[in-house]
């Protein structure tokens, strides 16, 4: 009888059982309530979600990059997971919030976080040559969902307008992708930013992009699918995981008149950088 071959894990530090659990193509993740400091940001994703992906696609002490880091969720997840993290953020206010939250997390974690890089760079991810970036082992990020934050009809936006000190858009900066009204131009610039990461990504490393399709003006703009297709010219699209949220209140969109779904899912697109593609 032949001996069972030992499990050799070259990608991460997970057990076979943990690995298998992550391979499910859809998952439910209901994030904890947002802390007061990050409520200002209109589209933050949870640290708990980022940590699950970081722990699957990297090993201990490897380097993770988020080119659109917002208020620092990816960097906080890196510290908790024992990885180095680098984040780039165009908005000066958000980058300052991110630095403060990272410092708070380092204090909370104490010795666990010692020696781990968690750097926030204020700048434009379209200008990577301006930064002294090292080679990274993984990219985890989420882009602006086109200019949807400018949509006055969105229920969440109406609620934010009635609250004090809560942003309804990212910024007024023309370099901000969330201010581009033309869908094709937005997609062109977004793809260019992600394609421009290649010189800084180790060969055969992964990129995860959290994104969703967009409803605007009575039609669907398939942002997730368009991005997957366009980036296929630069990276290998390996798969998708669908993040489902089941704790969001339903709204009667179009009731009695037309079909309008409550969209409570995001696409987690997995790409791999394979030089020579």
The structure tokens listed for 104 are: 């708070």
With b meaning 16 or more CB within 10 Å and e meaning fewer, what string describes 183-209? Answer: eeebbeebbebbebbeebbeeebbbbb
Domain boundaries, the chain: 35-248+264-272
Question: Mean of the pLDDT values across residues 134-146?
Answer: 94
DSSP state of 248: S
| pTM tops 0.75 | yes
Q: How far is CA 78 from the centre of its chain?
A: 13
The token pair at 134 is 């090292």
What end-to-end distance do the CA atoms of the chain give, in Å?
42
Confidence band (pLDDT; 50, 70, 90) for 165?
low
Structure confidence by residue, pLDDT tens digits, 233-254: 999 999 999 999 888 889 898 8
Q: What percent of the chain is modeled with pLDDT above 70? A: 86
Q: What is the pLDDT of residue 254?
A: 86
**With bands split at pLDDT 50, 70 and 90, how would you rate the model's confidence at 161?**
very low
List, for residues 69-124, the tens digit of each pLDDT value.
Answer: 999 999 999 999 999 999 999 999 999 999 999 999 999 999 999 999 999 999 99
**What average pLDDT does the segment 193-210 reach?**
97
Distance CA 96, CA 122 (A): 9
SS3 81: helix
Residues 95 and 89: beta-carbon distance below 8 Å = yes
**Per-residue pLDDT at 233:** 96
91: phi then psi, degrees, rounded to nearest 5 = -80, 120
Say how far apart CA 74 and CA 236 lie, in whole Å: 23
Tokens of 75: 């960097």
Q: List the one residue out of 100, 104, 47 whose CA is nearest residue 75.
A: 47
Do residues 133 and 122 make contact, with C-beta atoms less than 8 angstroms apart?
Answer: no
Cα separation, 224 vs 218, in Å, equals 18
H helices within 128-255, ranges in order?
A: 155-162, 183-195, 223-231
100 by Cβ neighbours in 10 Å (0-12 / 13-18 / 19+) ranks as middle
| 267, 224 contact by CB (below 8 A) | yes
| Beta pairing class for 136-141 and 118-122 | unpaired
**Options 1.10.40.60, 1.25.40.10, 1.10.150.300, 3.40.50.150; CATH of 35-248+264-272:** 3.40.50.150
Residue count of the chain: 277
């Amino acid at each position: 009888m032949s001996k069972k071959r030992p499990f050799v894990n070259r990608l991460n530090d997970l057990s076979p059982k943990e690995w298998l659990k992550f391979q499910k193509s859809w998952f439910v993740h209901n994030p904890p309530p947002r802390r007061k400091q990050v409520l200002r940001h209109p589209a933050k994703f949870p640290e708990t979600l980022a940590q699950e992906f970081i722990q699957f696609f990297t090993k201990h002490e490897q380097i993770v990059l988020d080119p659109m880091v917002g208020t620092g969720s990816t960097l906080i997840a890196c510290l908790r997971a024992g990885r180095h993290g680098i984040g780039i953020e165009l908005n000066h206010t958000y980058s300052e919030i991110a630095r403060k939250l990272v410092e708070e997390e380092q204090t909370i974690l104490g010795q666990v976080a010692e020696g781990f890089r968690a750097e926030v760079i204020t700048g434009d991810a379209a200008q990577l040559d301006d930064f002294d970036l090292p080679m990274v082992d993984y990219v985890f990020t989420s882009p602006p969902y086109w200019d949807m934050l400018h949509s006055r009809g969105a229920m969440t936006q109406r609620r934010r307008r009635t609250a004090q000190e809560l942003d309804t858009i990212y910024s007024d900066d023309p370099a901000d992708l969330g201010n581009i009204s033309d869908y094709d131009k937005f997609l062109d610039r977004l793809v260019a930013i992600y394609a421009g990461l290649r010189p800084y990504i180790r060969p055969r490393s992964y990129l995860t992009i959290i994104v969703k399709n967009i409803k605007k003006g009575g039609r669907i703009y398939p942002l997730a699918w368009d991005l997957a297709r366009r980036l296929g010219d630069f990276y290998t699209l390996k798969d998708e995981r669908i993040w489902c949220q089941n704790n969001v209140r339903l709204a009667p969109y179009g009731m009695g008149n037309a079909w309008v779904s409550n969209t409570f899912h995001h696409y987690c697109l997995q790409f791999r950088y394979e030089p020579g593609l």
